[in-house]
Amino acid sequence: MVTAPQESKKSKSARASQDFLVIDSIRDGLIVMKNGRLCMVLMASAFNFALKSPEEQDAIIFQYQNFLNSVDFSLQFVIQSRKLNIEPYLSSLREFEKAQDNDLLKLQTAEYIEFVRGFVELSNIVAKSFYIVVPFEPINLNPAGAAHFLSSLFSKNQSAKTKSDDEFAQNKIQLLQRVDSVQLGLQRIGVRSAVLKTDELIELFYSLYNMQELEKEKPTSEETI
């Protein structure tokens, strides 16, 4: 009698967590939002703008301006800063230290481990990731009159799942066209980009919603432009 309310509370909490997410599913490298919008995420490279010559800086600004003017859809630029996680590297050094037979090299390895740990903690080094979200909102037309009658005739033998798959494939083609134009514009600036696949998207969002589990999942700052 006592466990039933507790289970009910847990189920309500789980449903509330699901309702908090705006993502319905991740399929074929596409993020399907609950409002029907589709998104693809690009991971972009970076370069040091300050190290460029004045002529190169002017050329980059000009190309970036042309890129923004050529885009007729919305884009989201996300800069994510996370504290650098060096534990895997330190673990490999500890294994090397244990396997070392030379006492001098073992001592030097231990000192090097402490130096790297202290340097990273003192400097508060962060790793930055750059993402570009390319959205696409499918247009659902409501046919009327003769057009609706003809479409219903040709779609009688077509299952709902097949129609849904066909619409998804068509929307993906249009979204890929947007992604290609964005990648081309970034390439002219000197920025390389890659489309995140399904498993990479799942890993990205898992880390965003489970930042407390690992040190590398704790962002020092996150900024959306």
Could you read off the pLDDT of 80-127 as tens digits, one per residue?
Answer: 887 777 888 888 888 888 888 888 888 898 899 898 888 877 777 777
**Mutual angle of helices 54-70 and 160-189, in 10-degree steps:** 160
Alpha helix locations (H) across 30-157? 54-70, 87-99, 103-123, 145-154
Angle at 35 between CA 197 and CA 195, to 5 degrees: 15
What rounded mean pLDDT belongs to the chain? Answer: 79
CA–CA distances in Å: residue 133 to residues 162, 168, 183, 225: 28, 18, 12, 11
Q: Is the pLDDT of residue 24 over 80?
A: yes
**Residue 64 — pLDDT band, cuts 50, 70, 90?**
very high
